[in-house]
Amino acid sequence: MSTEEPDTGYSTKHSYGPEWEEESREVLSEVDFDTELGIELARDAQRLSQGKISEEEFYSRHSDKVNEEFGIDARPTDPRSSEPLDKDTVEDALNDDVVAEPVPSKYADAANSGDGGEGGDGGNDGGGDGNGWSDDEDDGVSRRTVLQSVGVAAAGIAAGTWSQRNPSGIWDEGEERNIQPAGPGTGGDETHLGFVIDVDACIGGAHCAIGCKDENQTPDGALWNFVFQYQEPDRDSEEYLIRPCMHCSDPPCVSVCPVRARHKRTEDGIVLTDYDICIGCRYCQVACPYGVNYFQWGEPDEERWRDNFLSNHDSVDDRLDKRGKHVAGPQHEKGIMGKCTFCVHRQDSGDPELENTTACEQACPVDAIHFGDLNDPDSKPRRYLREVEGRSEEAGNLAGRDTTDPDAEWQRPRHVPRWRFQEQYGTRPNVIYVGHQPSADAEWVDEPLPYDEYVSDFGHSMTKSREGFDNAPSDRKLRGED
């Protein structure tokens, strides 16, 4: 995990679309070297970054041509022998504006976290041994010149894309190899439920949050699934971030619980709270980096929840899971903690219609949420990841296209980011996001989603007023900014 590795390649502004192609061609045509070679190198660099071709393949493919063009191929043919990428090389490439700005860690620290370090190695391997390139000056080819040709395209993408080749260990070699294993210490073959959430697909209707409330009858103000709304300065549209519990593989909430009420179910990795044991110390809530826990502060309305619950559950016994533990549904007693259960009652229902589904997934009108076993290649989330992978792949594939035709109407290629949230805390979250990741410049919209106006089918309010006891000033901050 490295926080220094620049997170680069994900801005759609600088994807490898027609604009990019145009720009690159322009720059490349100004230098004496082979434009096509530059472009091709760049494409292959991207393929390499997606794991479509191996590093050796990449080097061998172009070694001759590079030799021919520059008189020397200083790129290491044995990637393991490479030295760290020369900082100047990266910076030059960045300055040439081929790749997006690095994303520091203001909002989504995950941007810089995860296995970024690992990805960085990829960048080093392929991006070329900086020193080697510098040495070229002796051969009459200045580093700057080489960068202008190959560098604009290849080195830029190499430094950018390769360093992000696998930013958080989500996918690799076209196969989502690094999907988290199930419970701690178990192998990758076991069931581990999780979400793949396409935040770019999200339209911000909070249907998931409402669907969850209806299904689980959670307390007023509790939003087991929550949709954030934010804005990027360089994008016109509003962005959304859907936040359920991450059902972490290394959940701090489980470690800190003094009574083992919070636990991780070994058979499928769901993180649950045993409502019969929880003493309401709220330490799990404190330790969770994502703020997904909701306490039962007041006395639940017994009549209301019972009626409502029975309207979509067979019996109140649905609150017991298959182990007989009271973990499903909301916490129907005051003073205990609750959070997203991955609709454990559905998973344990024995009904194939309900198994491997969640209320939020079903409620989403645009299919942004994909729930299932992350370790099963045929599961919905894995299939969706592959589909996304395909989208990226297609975007990067120029084979058969007339790259010399300036009028060709290409579909704008799209490299779709996949990431996990705030991985730097070592929680190993099991929610994989697809789509835009909040940048350092992300800003909250002035008007957040109007949760207080949403009403669930059962009349639950999404926010909680604390009338009678709320003597807090209206300002959020304790310090009382004015």
Distance between start and end Cα atoms, the chain = 40
| 359 belongs to the binding site for ligand SF4 (CB under 6 A) | no
273 binds, among ligand SF4, other proteins, none (CB under 5 to 8 A by kind): ligand SF4
206 is a site residue for ligand SF4 (CB under 6 A): no
Cβ contact 412:17 at 8 Å: yes
Binding residue for other proteins, selected from 165, 207, 243, 265, defined by CB under 8 A: 243
CA 338 from chain centre, in angstroms, equals 24
The answer to the question of residue 248 lying near ligand SF4 (CB under 6 A) is yes
Is position 297 an interface residue for other proteins (rule: CB under 8 A)? yes
Q: How far apart are CA 287 and CA 426, in angstroms?
A: 12
Contact status: 278 vs ligand SF4 (CB under 6 A): yes
- For helices 116-127 and 87-95, the axis angle rounded to 10 degrees is 90
Residue with tokens 């609150």: 319
108-167 residues in contact with other proteins (CB under 8 A) are: 109
Answer for which of 192, 326, 339, 415 binds ligand SF4 (CB under 6 A) is 339
Residue 470, binding choice from other proteins, ligand SF4, none, Cβ under 5 to 8 Å by partner class? other proteins
- Tell me, letter by letter, the H, E, C secondary structure of 97-151: CCCCCCCCCCCCHHHHCCCHHHHHHHHHHHHCCHHHHHHHHHHCCCHHHHHHHHH
- Of residues 281 through 310, those in contact with ligand SF4 by CB under 6 A are 281-284, 288, 290, 292-293
Question: DSSP letters along 314-363, please?
Answer: S-GGGGB-TTS-B-SS---STT-EE-----HHHHTS--TTTTT--HHHHH
Q: Number of H helices and number of E strands within the chain? A: 15, 11
- Quote the Cα angle for 116-418-1, to 5°: 20
**417-446: which residues touch ligand SF4 (CB under 6 A)?**
427
Q: Residue 384, interface with other proteins (CB under 8 A)?
A: no
Determine if 439 is a binding residue for other proteins (CB under 8 A): no
**Residue 26, phi then psi, degrees to nearest 5:** -60, -50
327 binds ligand SF4 (CB under 6 A): no
20, 58, 195, 226: residue in contact with other proteins (rule CB under 8 A): 226
Position among 278, 320, 327, 363 found at the interface with other proteins (CB under 8 A): 278
3-state secondary structure of 371: strand
Q: Which of 259, 310, 366, 445 binds ligand SF4 (CB under 6 A)?
A: 259
Cβ nearer to ligand SF4, comparing 375 with 427: 427
Q: Residue 328 interacts with ligand SF4 (CB under 6 A)?
A: no
305 Cβ partners below 8 Å, 6+ apart?
217, 330, 332
Tokens of 234: 């360089």
Q: Quick one: which segment of 22-30, 64-72, 188-196, 254-262 binds other proteins (CB under 8 A)?
A: 254-262
> Which of other proteins, ligand SF4, none lies near 31, with the C-beta cut-off 5 to 8 A by kind?
none
Token look-up 């997904």 returns 292
Where do contacts with ligand SF4 occur on this chain (CB under 6 A)? 245-248, 251-253, 257, 259, 261-262, 271, 273, 278-284, 288, 290, 292-293, 337, 339, 427
Where do contacts with other proteins occur on this chain (CB under 8 A)? 105-107, 109, 221-223, 226, 228, 241, 243, 252, 254-261, 277-283, 285-299, 333-337, 422, 424-425, 444-446, 448, 464, 466, 469-479
